[in-house]
Structure 1
Amino acid sequence: MTMTARPVPLEDLRNWHLDPVSGNLGHESGKFFSVEGVRVTDPAGPVPAWDQPIIHQPEVGILGILADRSRIGPTRFLMQAKFEPGNPGGVQLSPTVQATRSNYLRVHGGRPVPYLEHFRDVDPESVLADVRQSEQGAWFFRKRNRNMIVESRDAIEPREGFCWVGLPLLLQLLHVPDLLNMDARTVLACAPPEALAGVETVGGGARSGSLSWITDQRTGTELTAELIPLNETARWRLDDGMIRHDSGGHFTILGVEVTATGREVSSWHQPMLAPTGPGIVGALVTREGGTVSVLMRSRTEPGCTDGVELGPTVQCQPDTLERHPERLAPPFLDRFLSPEPGSVRFDVVQSEEGGRFYFARNRYMVVEIDGRLSAPAGFRWFGLDEISDFMRHSFYLNVQARSIALCLTSLVAAHA
């Protein structure tokens, strides 16, 4: 199983074309995804208006993991060792099935997706989790995937490139940089308590006051996001085969040629989004009376279906902040850049989805503080049990918050 990816100018991508009128970048089949422009207004934000390229992928893909609870001991999950062209470290552990609709309908003419039959026309009694969730709202326009965990009722012998992994080991592997891929993290974060035997959160789930606060945040947002032709995005230009911002920050859209073994297709071209620097995703937590509370922030992002989702305490790209002095650093960023001695509970660099993003990495951090500090506007403390409950429903937590929630689960498990 090998994969290589080399840069290709966007104008030279095989089976992709830049529309001569709109400048949008799309596949000749009209499937997979396109790169278009979006015009955003956010009067209450630090930048009230801007344009940017964005990935438009209306298809709802399947992210599915098979679970085995037939044996005494912790739940096992069928994981796949998978290369993606944007992975910084090569192979990563991914869900059993990780496929767009175009992939599993074989628009590319490739081989069938292994184990797909377990997630289509599935017996409802075997479903442990089944929820639509968003992806990166700053880079995807209203992207949704179906996150599923399905219990296998029959013995399944893993195919080449697949293996059963117990939950305790998976949670330990979360502490290894760039190993458990983003799609695996978001699916595992949606797992119900019965699939996480031995990992419990104290409390009664989401409280009415918390739900009302989220609804109020959504009702009050003034953010608007409208798709526009890519060639009308202000301050972005096609330069040297890539699309860049004139500041040199944010991200670029570049092309790659991929050759691979062990994939449904052995060679293809595609565009990818490459951030100009790593990000920080951080959660402030406190423990009171045996319960864990997390300071969350309501985040408005152009690609969010509901405009607002709960994000971690801090979610930013420091190199872009440095290039834009007019943008204020987010509250509490200093607690992650210069944490108090002994306060860091989790600190691991993880990569984001390597099928669309090229070397996109975030430093995931959990910092513990003594007691609940006062929450500014747009922030609220939530119990870990509430966060777990939110993930059984669509579009409450953004993808970064779901990853940080799984990090918290790993910490709870380590002290169980």
Structure 2
Amino acid sequence: MSAIDRLRALPRRFQTGEHAGVTSVCSAHPLVIEAALRHGLARDRDVLIEATCNQVNQDGGYTGMTPADFRRFVERIAAMVGFPLERLVLGGDHLGPNPWKHLAPHEAMSKAETMIEGFAAAGFAKLHLDASMGCAGEPAALDDETVARRAARLAERAEGAVARGGLVPPVYVIGTEVPVPGGATEALDHLVVTGREAVRHTVDVHAKAFAALELDDAFARVIAVVVQPGVEFGHEDIVVYRPHAAADLKGFLVEEPRLVFEAHSTDYQPDDALRRLVGDGFAILKVGPWLTFALRETLYGLSHIADILAPAPGEPSLRDAMEALMLEKPDNWRKYCHGSDAEVAVQRHFSLSDRIRYYWPDAAAQEAVDRLMARLEGRAIPLPLVGQHLGRLAESVAAGRVTPEPRALLLAGIEAVLDRYDRATH
């Protein structure tokens, strides 16, 4: 059975009572992708890596990569790690008009159709169709029928690209969560779990829209619906999954045995909450900011260690270098961080929403990280310093599972999060 077949089998496995899920790694950071592939290789797992419409599209997104570029990027890392490509699944997340919602609807949808065609032609085998956002002149959230018709148009373009390329037909995910892509930007005290009837309506209108375009075969490959199970995070708050609040959603899967749910914004959930999500039918768990948050934690810890082991008078700390960069280029945090100057300064670096992740690809950030790693190159970091500044990794270092060297510690910081998801999904 191939990796995509195993993905398609998730609904059947749930219906037979098996505890089975998959982690969806949503990041374009090379160290996160490397860690995910090393983690999967060590545990003999398939690895699902997804790119969002804002990260990767025909215009380059904020990574500067097209879908074909992103595939080559991931495959180069897989070759370096020795990860078998037959166990790799690439996905596209929130594929729709979101990057161009400032345009008129017909223009935005034309761009979205070109984008999903590129994802499909590049062999992305899991495609999340999300046309829920209004474009210029439309309300922020659209009615279900309009969303479904636009999603079906996107699927039609994807199907055509796959047929022309002789590729394996993709699986689809429909629906969207609240809030829309980009993360929570408001208080988290009124999060509403998706209702059972709302999910039923979403599935029904999509089935009708697909049928109108003679896409019944494509709709048969819809394996999951994105809903809001009652999980979210903000700058410093986490809304933890409460199974009783989502009991009605679990009941929906009894009447729709060919579907499971896909849960977004599962970052920072406790271990038992992640495992309960999978047990309740949320078989696809998305994680993104938590992985780069763990990377930033480890980098900042290594910066403190470098100040002790290899002082560099006059050289700014990594945090100081990143602060200067973010102040110089505030677009990726200014709309999302709120409060006093002191509160915003903390949010820039330490928010759970991890706005700093958008800055790591910048040349100035890469140079700052390279300088830090050069200061620590060839050094074995003493266990007491690991305990003091990278406390979560101290036990693994002491047990000999992690080498106390900078790069190994960076990967281990990310893999510690992936371990939580592996325990939850298997």
Which band: TM-score by shorter chain? under 0.3
| TM-score of the aligned structures, taking structure 1 as reference length | 0.26
- Write 1 or 2 for the structure with the bigger share of strand: 1
Higher relative contact order structure (alpha carbons within 8 Å, sequence separation ≥ 6): 1
- TM-score, L = length of structure 2: 0.26
